[in-house]
Structure 1
Amino acid sequence: MTTEESDIRVYYRVALKLMALLGILALAYAMISGFLSEPRTSHVLTQSVDITSLAPGEMLEVEWSGRPVLVLRRDEGMAMADATFAERLYDPGSRFSRQPRAYRNAHRSAAPDLFVAFATGTDLGCRLDLVPPEIAAEQGWGGGFVDRCRGGRYDFAGRVHDGQAARRNLEVPDYRLHPDGRVILGETPASD
């Protein structure tokens, strides 16, 4: 190798190292400036949902924080269906679920007759449809929610059935029940 070839190799090595160093510095600058310019906490807005006219077996859907939320008033048939098909659930104890600590109970909610969750499945984020126990019985299950993309099934407490593409139960947002019959979305429930 000639001296000229050796000098060219040294030049390229130095140039590559400088370019790598500049790339790392640019990335660090972008990360630090992004960290400093954006607030660390976001303000969560609350929303009041009147459920006084929601009859047992009925569901309503609202938009909150840019996401659809479902509010279901469970009836006795729904509770019986959940108990009957509990052995078919992937995570019946909701160990891997996203939900407020106060709602880590069998019905995953503030009250046994109420269920509040984001109205999207947990695998592809598809919208959900409510399937009553009477219709689901014809299909060999207890009923609950079905996502519109792959047909993933969740019971009336939002717990995913075993053998589905989804592996997490429906996400339950922060909310609390107001004594006058409203659900206040965005408020952290009181822990027991």
Structure 2
Amino acid sequence: MRLIVFSLIALVCVMPVWAGERADRSGTPDPAGLPVVVRAVEVGNLPPHGSLEFQWRGYPFRVVRRTGQDLERLRRSPATEAGSEGGAPHAIMTSLGCHECIKPDGYAQSLHRSPDPEYFVMLSVGPHYGCYISYFPPGDDNRWPNGERVELGQGWTGGFYDPCHDIRYDLAGRPFPNSLSGRNLFVPRYRITGAGLLIMGE
């Protein structure tokens, strides 16, 4: 009986998680002493303006597929760069043991804030007290799941919204003028392969 119990415990501990994404764990420790967790998420089949949320080390991340028109809008966006990747995400990423993710490669400072302009990847936790960030695509009716309409103002062309602080962000995660935010939405370090896989945690 004891052998059966131990076998079940071992099975639960090593069972990989499959929920529309593939995970690969290696035993190599990072600076925080946590195992490195590499996650591959299939994004190649996302439709234009499609969005997929996934978990990495217990936190929600989101990938959005942008169109050429979206990228053109970003060039005319009233939103502006709002400083560093600082704030709450630093603490989150440190707790994840991902020190190298705190300051991603230079693409986070580019106009579209992504290595592949077509895809935008972000932490779905705002830089202000950890509020969940919602996505409202271009052309959407902008409603909560209960049917209540979200008033996002004139000229809204899609992006992200922090309902706790009434902060609007464009499709590159930059806050609109006159908002309470002094920070961009957090962009982690990642890469997208030619096979349409988003790789996190390398």
1:89 partnered with 2:89: no
- Read off the aligned partner of 1:100 and give its amino acid letter: P
* Among candidates 171, 178, 181, match of residue 166 of structure 1: 181
Q: CA offset at residue 55 of structure 1?
A: 1.1
* Among candidates 43, 51, 63, match of residue 35 of structure 2: 43
* Equivalent residue, structure 1, for 2:166: 151
1:149-180 Cα distance to aligned partner (Å, 9 max, x none): 22211110111222222211011112111221
> Which structure's residues are more often strand, by fraction?
2
1:7-53 Cα distance to aligned partner (Å, 9 max, x none): xxxxxxxxxxxxxxxxxxxxxxxxxxxxxxxx754333111100121
* Among candidates 121, 134, 139, match of residue 153 of structure 2: 139
SS of alignment partner, residue 125 of structure 1? coil
> Which structure's residues are more often helix, by fraction?
1
* Equivalent residue, structure 1, for 2:62: 70
* Equivalent residue, structure 2, for 1:28: none
CA distance in 1, matches of 2:116, 2:55: 22
* Equivalent residue, structure 1, for 2:131: 126
C-alpha distance 131-99 of structure 1, shift in aligned 2 (>3 A): farther
Aligned length: 145
Root mean square deviation of aligned Cα:
2.3
CA distance in 1, matches of 2:160, 2:65: 13
Check the 8 A contact 1:81/1:143 in 2, yes or no.
Answer: no
SS of alignment partner, residue 82 of structure 1? helix
Query: TM-score, length-normalised on structure 1?
Result: 0.67
Aligned-residue sequence identity (percent) comes to 34
* Equivalent residue, structure 2, for 1:116: 121
- Read off the aligned partner of 2:77 and give its amino acid letter: F
Give the structure with higher Rg (CA).
1
1:185 partnered with 2:200: yes
CA distance in 2, matches of 1:121, 1:128: 6
C-alpha distance 50-161 of structure 1, shift in aligned 2 (>3 A): same
CA distance in 1, matches of 2:152, 2:160: 15
CA distance in 2, matches of 1:65, 1:178: 21
1:113-144 Cα distance to aligned partner (Å, 9 max, x none): 11001012111211122223335897223321
CA distance in 2, matches of 1:102, 1:47: 22
Check the 8 A contact 2:74/2:112 in 1, yes or no.
Answer: no
SS of alignment partner, residue 135 of structure 2? strand
Q: Give ranges in structure 1 of 5+ residues lacking alignment.
A: 1-38, 188-192
